[in-house]
Amino acid sequence: MTSFLTAAFYKFVDLPDFEALKAPLLACCAEHQIKGTILLAQEGINSTVAGPAPGVHALLNFLRQDPRLSDLQHKEAWSDKPPFYRMKVRLKREIVTMGVAGISPTHMAGTYVKPADWNQLLQDPALVLIDTRNDYEVEVGTFSGAINPRIKTFAELPQWLEQAAALHTDSGVKPKVAMFCTGGIRCEKSTALLRARGFDEVYHLEGGILKYLETVAPEHSLWQGECFVFDERVCVGHGLLAGRHKLCRACRMPLAEGEQNSPLFELGVSCPKCHASTTPGQKSGARERQRQWEWGKPGANSRASVKPRAEP
């Protein structure tokens, strides 16, 4: 059985020539059979890619030849089916969209906390612990005691932080805050934002939830549930082993065990979470795409029905 290596990595670093990096990266990925997405912006790079292990390592070595990316860190996971079906290198204003000008994680991010020290930090009863991910991610799993902002996209977080009661005490003293996200990138921006707003004690989980699940033993873990990931694995648990959630091929939302048994579930067409939000005509179109994909007929838009959700 063929194994596919997935590598996730990002770095906030000044890349004024980011547009010129697109073509060489596409060529490198094509040469080494790499699929996935690389986001490039002046503020840095953000990516999840997969392919044969030698090819993934060749891409990482290629990136690290750039002195600005020489210390690029990555996380690895294995799967027995390809997590991605095509390769995209996209030029963006931000490598993770928050929409607040003047925020520089390179210079303003909060204090990193290693996974081995995270549990100790969470024992502080005065700590405000915030899950910076979207609502559908938090639904799958989170840390005990974490606040769920109930946002649809990361761009909604700044307004939530501005209004969050837990961050604005009657005394005016700003509380001690810890934040976490899937791989760490959203936390670097959100902690930088809090520091820009005058919060002094701001912490975030180094390497994100994925590094915590990879390195902290289940018997010592404070994590509850699974962690949503933005590829065909859908969710992972401790040891980064594939979880029990499946993916709705229509809305790309995670489905817990049993939800596929709902009368509202139809493969590639609808699930309990999206059935009410699509018209009969849209369901008919999705049904036809699913039929074409299953039978492999010419003109089938097969990848549209299985396209993984992009990380915000």
CB 179 within 8 A of CB 86: no
User: What gap in Å lies between CA 159 and CA 70, rounded to an integer?
Assistant: 35
Strand extents, DSSP E, 181-283: 202-205, 223-225, 227-228, 235-236, 246-247, 254-255
Beta-ladder partners of 46: 10, 39
Asked whether 34 and 51 are in contact (CB, 8 A), the reply is yes
The half-sphere exposure of 132 on its side-chain side, counting CA atoms within 13 A, is: 34
CA 163 to chain centre: 25
Given the residues 28, 29, 181, 271, the one annotated as active site? 181
Beta strands in the chain (DSSP E): 4-12, 35-41, 44-51, 74-79, 87-91, 111-113, 128-131, 141-143, 177-180, 202-205, 223-225, 227-228, 235-236, 246-247, 254-255
Residue type, 1: M
Q: Which residues are within 8 A (CB) of 262 and not within 5 positions of it... i.e. 6 or more apart?
A: 271, 272
Would residue 181 show up in a list of annotated catalytic residues for this protein?
A: yes
Active site residues: 181
